[in-house]
Structure 1
């Protein structure tokens, strides 16, 4: 599967439950690359902190680690560095700047400087915009008209979900899933299948 195909699927319909096995394996391979990389290559410290905060608010730590523990920020940095085209990377980074601008306008400080309640309030507004984007995008598909420009928060949510559920923490601990079954149960006798 080509990088562009993976990215296109990441920004389309349902994420983890409908991922083809080939794409899931590609994403897990990308996740594996996060391990040996040292430091961020695209996100600067402030952008990284913003993405880490947003992703942790999307998937917070509970009985299992959240997005921060799964290093979703590093996964996103890897995609921005290795998989995204330059214009897409720049659009994503501009989305972070726009998020800070909206936060500055509403609360007089950057997103990461806001209180948890203020961050949640901002994210609820962004989520409403993301859902409007989804509706517009679906309508564009039905009417075969031009797709609206990508929505930053929608993209962050999708990348957070994919990054989390393709990590060991998300896939094994949270979902309790395995790509390769741990054992082969064999065929069931026909009489059992009819019951």
Structure 2
């Protein structure tokens, strides 16, 4: 599954290994089907930009620590980095992270943890959200997947209201 990507941009927040991990996770969240997936939409570049320029230090730290945890889990379970695991192993790790994310997001867990830690979004929730936003705001996601126009050909701002609609 893991392939070396040509370095098309200068990464701002992620190193090449972290970027490869983000590409792999994104491709598992939104794989290529009859439409291109997250990898083709270059969602990793969007995520790198958000982590570098939008996230505050706490969010950036949470994201990068979570990304490192993906490899720690992979090493612990399969004795190799996440990007070198089989797709089945990668999915197992992401399913575990997703389950942990759901548990940590439950109100009773957040309430108990409030006294000991700040309320931060679990890493897997962060990367899923970034992947979805990055994909569906890209030309590939918006045009090819959603079949929408980025710039409509025409805008009818002052259209007369029909008699039926005014009732």
If the length of structure 1 is used for normalisation, what is the TM-score? 0.70
Measure, in 1, the Cα distance between the counterparts of 2:160 and 2:25.
Answer: 47
Could you say what the CA RMSD is over the residues aligned between the two structures, in angstroms?
A: 2.5
| 1:190 counterpart = 2:159 | no
Check the 8 A contact 2:70/2:82 in 1, yes or no: yes
Deviation at 1:192? Answer: 4.7
Residue of structure 2 in register with 1:163 after alignment? 134
Please, which of 45, 69, 86 is the counterpart of residue 74 of structure 1?
Answer: 45
Alignment of 1:42-191 (within 5 A): 42-136=13-107, 140=111, 148-178=119-149, 180-185=151-156, 187=159, 190-191=162-163
Unaligned runs of 5+ in 2: 1-7
If the length of structure 2 is used for normalisation, what is the TM-score? 0.81
Check the 8 A contact 2:74/2:80 in 1, yes or no: yes
Deviation at 1:89? Answer: 1.6
Measure, in 2, the Cα distance between the counterparts of 1:139 and 1:50.
Answer: 28
Decide whether aligned partners of structure 1 residues 64 and 137 sit closer, same or farther in structure 2, where only a CA change above 3 A counts. farther
Secondary structure of the corresponding residue to residue 34 of structure 2: coil
Unaligned runs of 5+ in 1: 1-36
Measure, in 2, the Cα distance between the counterparts of 1:139 and 1:99.
Answer: 22
